[in-house]
Amino acid sequence: MVSSRPMIMMLFLKRVEIDLCSRRPESARRFLLVGVAQTPAANQLGLEHRVFVLNTKPDPIVCFNPKIVHYSEKYAVTEEGCLTFPGLFVKIRRPQWIRVRFHEADGSMRTETLNGLAARAFQHELDHLDGVNYLSRAKKIHMDQAKKKQKLIDRKLKRMQLA
């Protein structure tokens, strides 16, 4: 149903705005403090659609029915965070670049090669749609390190609020 996609996109983006600004203001504030503002996948907001928005520059990319069609053989380990676990940034191993395919809001098929942060964000959001929690991809040592860092961040935020 191509004609319904723009409406779904509008509802999705409005739901994101409501979720970040009113239902979870602390989560949004924490992420903005560390310079990360990623859009959640539709299923994180209670919507039954396979869609997410990548906040790329100059324009965001809306991805309907996204899939990865090819992975890089080289991997990178980088910290990832998620609105589901505010302040928890864990080192995750993922392919450095990926080739992806998805439908745009107008129904057209699009194929892109993504690398760096865009590739990582696409994989993270696709994991959400597939029911995979990014923490399940972390090694135990990286989880332990991340939890220690999270406690430090929480203490700093409390001190900032008291000041």
The domain limits of the chain are 2-162
Backbone φ and ψ of 160, nearest 5°: -65, -40
**Which amino acid is residue 140, in one-letter code?**
K
pLDDT at position 56 over 90 = no
Known catalytic residues are: 125
pTM over the 0.85 mark: no
Using CB atoms within 10 A of its CB, is residue 54 exposed (0-12), middle (13-18) or buried (19+)? buried
Please, what CATH class does the domain formed by 2-162 belong to?
A: alpha beta
Nearest of 60, 38, 24, 34 to residue 123 by alpha carbon: 38
pLDDT at position 9 over 80 = no
Express each pLDDT in 100-155 by its tens digit. Answer: 999 987 889 999 999 998 899 999 999 999 999 999 999 999 999 999 988 888 88
